Structure 1
Amino acid sequence: MPSEVALLESRTLRADHAGRVDVLEKVRALRLLPDGLHVTTEGVAEYFAVHKDAVHSVVRRHREELIANGMTTLTGDELRIDDVVKTTTSSGSPAESYPQGRSHLRVFTRRAVLNIAMLLRDSEVARCVRTYLLDTEEAPRTVIASDPRYDGLEHRVTDLEGSMARIGPALQELGPVLRRMSMRLESLDLRMETMDRRLEAVDVRLDGVDRRLDATNRVVGAMSVRLTDLSEDVADIQRRLPRPPDPRRRRRR
């Protein structure tokens, strides 16, 4: 069984254990953000019962490794995913708002938190995680080695753990992509609702135009009827008026 010191010093050994994120919850409750995937720097510091400067120190020394295990920095639209998310302290009192008042925010996946547990030296909680991680790894292998019925099963379990370790980061990386897609779909829904309202307003205006056209047609029809009646009255009056004498008849006389 590898020692705790070997785990602290060897990145390869830490990578072999990176998929065992279930150990975190067995040691202590991890306070996740409402997306169920990420923890803030303050949340990581609270979990390991250290000052957040200790977390910053680990990040500075092992940034590349932590990024590979899911640490990321949210900026821009990603910070507007949920304007009401708040972190809390261990006493349950509200801490600073997330993400209000920030231009960026560093967050960690469970895998990245486990990575910090394998790097953070001055934390009793981190030591418990490392001890539990190494002890739970050794116990089932001892049983397998002592029982001939499980010949070859150790290799299968190792392969399965490796597969789970590869699947875990893929699912964690998929989370932000799904959130961005959800944001875009929500934005598209808002645009569609705005377009629907505009189309409804256009329909109302067209209905008003149709009513005005109908009224105009009725007025024009009535005027046409009146003009027809007036033409008939003028023709009748002309027929009733006496005809003027013919000047040619006067000359003949």
Structure 2
Amino acid sequence: MPTEVALLESRTLRAERMGRVDALDKVKGLVMLPDGIHVRAEEVACYFEVSTTTLKRLTDRHQRELTENGMRILRGSDLRVFHSDMMSLWKGEEAGSYPQAATQLRLYTRRTVLNVAMLLRDSDIARRVRTHLLDAEEDLRASCASLDRRVSRVEGCLAGVGSALQELGPVLSRMSHRLDVLDREPDGTHRDVGATGPRLSDVSEGIARLDSRMEDLAAGLREWGGHRPRG
């Protein structure tokens, strides 16, 4: 993990952490202009509890880096348009107290203020912001390491499940074969029953004919008995 000194000296390390603007609010509230986007140099200096002169020297030394991260200097018509926009956002008596710069205005964004925090050496607030960034990164690393260990344990368990499934494979195959045999047996039974059907019909017809002949025989006997001579 990088140290605070490395963060102060390496532009690459600062660029990697430029999205962590939430670190500013974790340390101290930052007063924004009415648009909620920009901050004047006076408010930035107040946030870091340094003089505007100290802040200007820093921004002059690192102007290119800070400009890439949102710092702007407004003059002329751009400045007048910006003041007009800010005045329209302020309400009531606040509009009359809005501080207007006469010739130029240096504006910062939250991203730029975080950039200043990673550059400003002689500020306790800036040091606290840097500490928060590094501590949060360390916590994230620890969480990732813990997650890696948990994933490794899950992978180990899955490997055991894979071995168990391989051992169950032959058993499942035998069970599947037996089920296929059982499925085929009812089919054979159905065929046998189907073949027996016509034979049973023939037997039923034979019995019917036999019953008819027996009835004819019984009728003949009754008739013969009625005409038998009496002694």
Normalised-by-shorter TM-score class = 0.5 to 0.7
Which residue matches 1:145? 145
Pairwise CA distance, 1:103: 2.4
Q: Which has the larger radius of gyration?
A: 2
Gaps of 5+ in 2: 153-231
| 8 Å CA contact 1:80, 1:99 repeated in 2 | no
Please list, as runs of the form range in 1=range in 2, the aligned pairs for 1:1-253 lying within 5 A after superposition. 1-74=1-74, 75-83=79-87, 98-100=98-100, 102-148=102-148
CA RMSD of aligned residues (A): 2.3
Deviation per residue, 1:55-94 (Å, 9 max, x gap): 10111100000000000123232232123778xxxxxxx9
Deviations 1:184-220 (A, max 9, x none): xxxxxxxxxxxxxxxxxxxxxxxxxxxxxxxxxxxxx
Deviations 1:131-183 (A, max 9, x none): 0011101112112113336659xxxxxxxxxxxxxxxxxxxxxxxxxxxxxxx
Q: Contact 1:84–1:97 at 8 Å: present in 2 too?
A: no
- The 2-side partners of 1:6 and 1:101 are apart by 37
Name stretches of at least 5 consecutive residues in structure 1 with no aligned partner. Answer: 87-93, 153-253
In the alignment, is the contact (CA less than 8 A) between 2:35 and 2:86 conserved in 1? no
Show structure 1 runs of 4+ deviating over 4 A: 96-99, 149-152
CA distance in 2, matches of 1:69, 1:148: 34
Alignment deviations for residues 26-79 of structure 1 (CA, whole Å, 9 cap, x no partner): 000001111001110000000001111111011110000000000012323223
> Would you say the 8 A contact 1:45–1:51 is kept in 2?
yes
What letter matches 1:73 in structure 2?
I
Q: Given the superposition, is the C-alpha separation of residues 25 and 101 from structure 1 closer, same or farther in structure 2, using an over 3 Å criterion? A: closer
Task: Say if 2:41 and 2:106, in contact at 8 Å, map to a contact too.
Answer: yes
Mapped to 2, the partners of 1:65 and 1:98 lie a distance apart of 29
Q: Please say if residues 14 and 118 of structure 1, whose CA atoms lie closer than 8 Å, have aligned partners that are also in contact.
A: yes
Which whole-Å CA distance do the structure 1 matches of 2:23 and 2:42 have between them?
20
Distance 1:79 1:116 in 2: 24
Number of residues paired by the alignment?
144
SS state at 1:147 partner: helix
Kindly, what percent of the aligned residue pairs are identical?
Answer: 52
Secondary structure in 2 matching 1:119: coil
- Judging by fraction of residues, say which structure has more helix: 2
**What SS does structure 2 have at the residue aligned with 1:120?**
coil
Alpha-carbon separation, structure 2, partners of 1:5 and 1:48: 18
Task: Give me the whole-angstrom Cα distance separating, in 2, the residues matched to 1:151 and 1:80.
Answer: 56
Query: What is the letter of the counterpart of residue 80 of structure 2?
Result: G
CA distance in 1, matches of 2:31, 2:136: 23
TM-score (norm 1): 0.53
Amino acid at match of 2:107: V
8 Å CA contact 1:33–1:85 kept in 2: the answer is no
What displacement does 1:99 show? 4.7
Taking the aligned partners of 1:150 and 1:114, their CA distance within structure 2 comes to 34
Change (3 A) 1:43 1:101: closer
Deviations 1:232-252 (A, max 9, x none): xxxxxxxxxxxxxxxxxxxxx
